[in-house]
Amino acid sequence: MTNKNILEEARALTLPSREASLNREASVSHFWNSNRDLLEEAWTEWEIENKDNLLVPDETLLDPRLQKAIKDAWENPEKENAVADLWEEISPGVYSAQFFNPERLVDFRKYLEAVVNSQIPKRAPHGIQLNRYGIMLDPRSEGYLAAPNFQAFYNDIMDRYMRPIARLLLDTYGYDNQTFGFSIQYNPDKDKDLNGHTDASAATLNININLPDEAFTGSQVDFYDKTTGKTVQTTFESGQAIIHRGDVAHATHPIISGQRSNLVVWLYGDRMQIPRGGASSYGSVDNSESKVVTSQSISARERWTVPKSPKDTFAPF
């Protein structure tokens, strides 16, 4: 099959209906799994076909201060406090910082627009609800964005940035071997809010990818502190990220005007293991001594490592 025929065949596929996806019908998984190889080949060919005018996403899209602090910490983990200093704790166990460089977001958004216009079938997220404009990002997911350059960028974000940040701020060491990710978009007429929930993750990183001039009203996010019973409300700014433990309850208010677009990425353990019983349970089990190993009892150098265990195939949705 020629390169052109691969793209044509992928683009000619008829996607499962929204109703079938919401109902988790067996035919939906069959569609994505039976076409997985074709779609992965199509994304590779799409990149090749558009190599002269398509962004190659990399960490230069990110906030320069964050880039430098992360680079320095990988070279010398004893400098990890400079990473922590960039994050403001806005609620217990919930931290906020600038993640993307707002001046480079226009480039990234043009890339995502090209992804949407590729006409290659993509699966929308269907966790609590089916987000019409979102895309699955992780290879463990059906219908994911398999473009090789994007996957390199995605893995870089997870391995070099999110995991050590989560270990440093949230004490997730031992429950962060596996990754998961998707994009979402909130609109006043469709997918306008999200009811209160917790995530099936050890850590969640939620990144706003609105351009600086893409204003919206509403869509505030509430974080509930179960210790004090208080709720903290926040609003995303362009390129801003919020990271929190998955067991922190949160909800999104209805968006009133404009749009809000976000990338959401998760970490959890092998076979979707997450800590149970609150923050004190975060850590890995050292079976040789039958004790929980937390971030406080591991070295900075251990925090700045990439797990060696293989990726599994378990996905939250």
Lookup: tokens for 220? 């505030």
pTM: 0.91
Cα–Cα distance measured from residue 122 to residue 136, given in angstroms and rounded to the nearest whole number: 7
Superfamily of domain 3-274: q2cbj1_9rhob like domain (2.60.120.620)
Q: Angle, nearest 10°, between helix axes 148-156 and 36-49?
A: 100
Cα–Cα distance measured from residue 116 to residue 136, given in angstroms and rounded to the nearest whole number: 12
Cα–Cα distance measured from residue 158 to residue 224, given in angstroms and rounded to the nearest whole number: 26
The whole-number pLDDT of residue 130 equals 55
Residue 189 burial (10 A CB sphere; 0-12, 13-18, 19+): exposed
Lookup: tokens for 163? 């995991």
Q: What is the pLDDT along the chain (317 residues), one digit of tens a residue?
A: 566 699 999 999 999 998 898 888 999 999 999 999 999 999 999 999 999 999 999 999 999 999 999 999 999 999 999 999 999 999 999 999 999 999 999 999 999 999 999 999 999 887 555 567 789 999 999 999 999 999 999 999 999 999 999 999 999 999 999 999 999 988 888 778 778 899 999 999 999 999 999 999 998 999 999 888 899 999 999 999 999 999 999 999 889 999 889 999 999 999 999 987 544 444 443 433 323 344 457 899 999 999 998 999 998 88
* 157, 265 Cβ separation under 8 angstroms: yes
The whole-number pLDDT of residue 293 equals 42
Domain range list for the chain: 3-274
CA 273 to chain centre: 17
Q: Which residue has the tokens 């958004």?
A: 109
The whole-number pLDDT of residue 192 equals 81
| β-sheet bridge partners, residue 293 | 284
Cα–Cα distance measured from residue 24 to residue 174, given in angstroms and rounded to the nearest whole number: 31
pLDDT digits 0-9 by tens, 184-209 = 988 888 778 778 899 999 999 999 99
The whole-number pLDDT of residue 128 equals 52
